[in-house]
Amino acid sequence: MQRHSTISPLLSLPGAVPAEGRDEGVAAHYGDLFREQRALANGTGFVDLSHRGVVTVSGGDRLSWLHLLLTQHVSDLPAGQATEALVLSAHGHIEHALSLVDDGETVWAHVEPGTQEALIAYLESMKFFYQVEVADRTDDFAVVHLPAGSIAEAPEGVVVRETPQGRDLFLPRAGLEAYAAANGPAIGVLAYEALRVEAHRPRLGFETDHRTIPHEIGLIGTAVHLEKGCYRGQETVARVHNLGKPPRRLVFLHLDGSEVHLPGPGTPVRLAADGEEGRQLGFVTTSARHYELGPIALALVKRNVPVDAKLLAGGTAAAQETVVEP
């Protein structure tokens, strides 16, 4: 995955500790992870997501054209209404995830860091005779997240994507520091991720691998519209929905709080009754320390794992909650 080179200027704020891995370029936290989680849960502060890619699609055919390419029904998307959509492979595997909104003239989408170039290459290859213009706006715009309940105002003229989880602002990158000074406290991505895990919300590249289909991680109905066709991978979506079950399912794990270390992504998940040498039935996708729930995680497991089975994530005992029904 190719990464964008922009490093957030907010890493110069007091206490900022840089994030690593896919979230490199912004702050993991600003010195107090649990305080930041509480602030976010209470609707205060903002999260710097300026490392995410920003892609725009303009032109009179933008919605009808995207409707043919994405899993979501967007041909009649009202201006200002947020939605989520995927790009699938021919076999129905998830390749891209878009968080998007149309402002009446342009579709704005933010995507996982480093994925915008591949997404734009695909979109450009599908333009044909349609009146559309696709652009990478990552250099010019930074994504800032305001949590649900926030009373902070968006600057005039800024495109806003509002969801039940809060508002995403497509803020001119040159105004990021001024916005932070007026609307703090700044909150790191570790707090944002902990609340994401608590809410069972999957993320591309975390809860997905090269063979993930939307049914496995609960995206049917949220990012995939079942009453539209005409997009790549639609046959797989329809076949699994109508005739079968996905091979894996997403689960939420309450982890043993006495363990010092969290099981990282890729940690094998097994039946507790079989011990650490038992057959692997899945793997951890994201783990976090939550200010109220303690250590938690999301994991992908085989569909036939009993929903009441006690599990082991590596050597850590784990109780599961169903996210996707078997």
**Can you tell me the distance from the alpha carbon of 15 to that of 79, in angstroms, rounded to the nearest whole number?**
39
* Strand pairing category for 166-172 and 141-147: antiparallel
**Can you tell me the distance from the alpha carbon of 71 to that of 26, in angstroms, rounded to the nearest whole number?**
30
Of 108, 116, 112, nearest in space to 159 by CA? 108
**Can you tell me the distance from the alpha carbon of 295 to that of 264, in angstroms, rounded to the nearest whole number?**
12
Three-class DSSP category at 292 = coil
**What counts of helices (H) and strands (E) characterise the chain?**
6, 18
Kindly state the tokens that stand for 220.
């049917």
Kindly state the tokens that stand for 308.
């009441």
pLDDT in tens, 242-293: 988 999 999 999 999 888 899 999 999 999 999 999 999 999 999 999 999 9
Of 87, 91, 81, 52, nearest in space to 66 by CA? 87
**CA distances, 229 to each of 53, 122, 129, 237 (Å):** 27, 19, 21, 10
Strands (E), the chain: 17-18, 27-29, 46-49, 53-58, 83-88, 94-102, 106-111, 133-136, 141-147, 159-163, 166-172, 186-187, 248-255, 268-271, 282-290, 294-302, 311-313, 316-322
The pLDDT of residue 4 is: 45
Kindly state the tokens that stand for 211.
């063979």
Of 197, 116, 114, 181, nearest in space to 144 by CA? 181
**Can you tell me the distance from the alpha carbon of 205 to that of 311, in angstroms, rounded to the nearest whole number?**
23
**Torsion sign (Cα): 151, 157, 158, 164:** positive
- pLDDT per residue of the chain (326 residues) written in tens, 0 to 9: 334 457 999 999 999 999 999 999 999 999 999 999 999 999 999 999 999 999 999 999 999 999 999 999 999 999 999 999 999 999 999 999 999 999 999 999 999 999 999 999 999 999 999 999 999 999 999 999 999 999 999 999 999 999 999 999 999 999 999 999 999 899 999 999 999 999 999 999 999 999 999 999 999 999 999 998 889 999 999 999 998 899 999 999 999 988 889 999 999 999 999 999 999 999 999 999 999 999 999 999 999 999 999 999 999 999 999 999 99
The pLDDT of residue 227 is: 92
Q: What are phi and psi of 116, to 5 degrees?
A: -65, -35
Contacts of 210 (CB under 8 A, 6+ apart): 93
Helix axes 189-198, 33-41, angle to 10 degrees: 60
**CA distances, 176 to each of 142, 169, 170, 189, 192 (Å):** 7, 11, 10, 16, 18
The pLDDT of residue 1 is: 38
Q: What is the DSSP string of 39-94?
A: HHHTT-SEEEETTSEEEEEESTTHHHHHHHHSSS--TTPPTT--EEEEEE-TTS-E
**Can you tell me the distance from the alpha carbon of 123 to that of 136, in angstroms, rounded to the nearest whole number?**
11
